[in-house]
Every structure is written in structure tokens, then in C-alpha cells.
Structure 1
């Protein structure tokens, strides 16, 4: 039996156009964040800021089609940094691999100030350890490693693209609706006085 380890990392930096409510308050909304970075149709909320995320089905060397499902814990620290960490994982579609597979995901997204401008800086890391099925035992290890690492990198790039296209848009919408609610509440309080 051959055991392989695949890894991938991805970093990002986004300039934030500050809204009426600072981005740090938005980052304290774990469910909104997860919905902004993952397809809501593939996400299920669990108790205590945990989420079950199904990834889109993946192909490995055109031999295996499988769908990873991961449970993530998401939380925000006092300085507004959002963190996530995987707690468990399941591979749907290939029982052999599911029983011989481990996945570790960590992520961080933090607001930082530089020359009066706010940026979100983030990093995510994925590590997969798997026992290779017998059908692939004769495949050279470097080919398996390159293929596995590339597959993980493509998953992280998809998540990064989703963050770039959805997170700031969702932040603006959230800030606008929160500001509108606050204004309406203040206005109704003035009328009742």
C-alpha cells in the first residue's frame, strides 16, 4: 500500500472600499462569510458555527470521480480575523479512498490598515493524505503528486475567485441593508417620542 501526501496553499489580498459599517463587523457574521465563499446550494449550517460543505465533484487522472464533503468550524477573533478549520471529511463516490483518506483545511482572513486604506489579507492551506488504490500503484509517484497537488490548487483557486467576486459585493449589500434598518429604527423611535 502506498501512502501519499498532497498540499496546496493560496494567499489573497483585496482592497476594501469601506462602507457605513466597518468590514470587521461583517467578518463577525460566520454564516454570511461561508455563503459568500461557498455555493449556498452545497452548504448546510450545523450548530456552533459549523458548516457542512460539499465540493463540486472532482476527477483524479480521469479514473476516479468523487465528491469531498467537509465539516468546517468558522469563528472570528477579537481583532476581526475570520478563521476556519476542518473538523472532519468524507469522500463520496469511492469507498476505498474514503476509508483511507484524511484532509486538513485551515484558513484565515484578516482586515489590515495600510496608509489609511483597509485590505483583507488571507491564506488557506489544504493537506490531503491518502492511501493510493492498487490500480495506481504502478504510476510513478511524481506524476501522482503533481496531479494531486494541482487538483488541490485548482480547488483553492476556485474558492479564491469566489471570494474575489462575492465577498465584497455581499459586504456592501449587508452594510447597506444594516444601515437602512438602523435608519428606519431611529426614524420610528423619533416618531413615537
Structure 2
């Protein structure tokens, strides 16, 4: 029986988690192409042969990270309730995405790096689970628009704009903090601004039809 098929001991599970956390740090700093197994092993505090016991290649480590990340990334959109009050549901989604950018900046940069490379290790997932979820929520948004509960805008591009305006604060964190200067909380300030922006955009009769 190969190691991957055997039940993991507590130590093996811990080592796997340590390797993945180290890999997240290395990949988010250096990208997939710039990262090496030697760097990941060093950050993890393990030997390279020990690392290779758990993951046979750099690609395997990267894929394991991305597989776990996709669920984390989709959960905030999944939580949008089609039976809820439209504007409140959209504002809550914006807040969840902003919280995700604040709490998981390395994961955000890892995801962005994969997409910028053409998503070679995630294309199937983004053309499957991600697109299916966006289509589902776009139908909900379109229904709310047809019912006159929010203004008419393109629902898919609305979702894109929420992604862009929230993930920016993780992917360009250094730039954001350099421009704002000390004494600012980018995420608190962004939350208030984005709620105002989307509330005005989606208020009935105030957005382009």
C-alpha cells in the first residue's frame, strides 16, 4: 500500500500541515517557478528526503495547496442566501471577501499567481466548480434585478468587481499601506468605502439599466 493510501498518524498529519504552511510561504513570496523544494524544506524545518516522503514533487505540494484553497475561496459566495434581502446579502458577501483578503493574504497571492500563469494546475476547477457557482449566483442576482429589488447591472461582472476590489487589498498590500501611510487600517476603511460604493450602484433607479 502506498504511503498516500495509508491512514496518517498524528505526527504524519502534523508534518504534512507544516510542509503545506511552509510551501504557502515560499510560493506566495517566489511564485511557482521561483520556489524550490529545498526552500520549502528549509522553512518547514525538515530534510528534503522527509518532505519527499509526503509529496513526490513541487507540483504535488502546489496542487495540494490549491485544492484546499479553492473551497476557502468559494465559501463566501456559497453563503449568499437566495432567500435573503438582496442588498444585505451582497454587502455581507463583500465583507466576507474583504475578511478573506485580510485573514488569508498569502493564499490570495498564491491564487493570483496561479491565475497569472494561465491556471495550469487549476483550469479544470475554475472551469468547473468556480464557473458553476458563479452561474448559480448570477441567476439569483438576475432574479433580484428582475423583481426590482436591486438595480440592473451585469451580474457576472458585479461578482468580478467584488473580487477585484476586495482581493486588491491582499495582493497589493505593500502598495496599499505605502500610499495610506501609518495609522490607517486598510481593511476597516475599505469596508466602509465598498459598502457605500455597492449600495449606491445597486440602489433601485441609481445604477445604469
TM-score by length of 2: 0.27
Higher share in strand: 1
Q: State the structure with bigger RCO (CA 8 A, min sep 6), 1 or 2.
A: 1
Please identify which structure carries the higher helix content: 2
**What is the TM-score with the length of structure 1 in the denominator?**
0.28
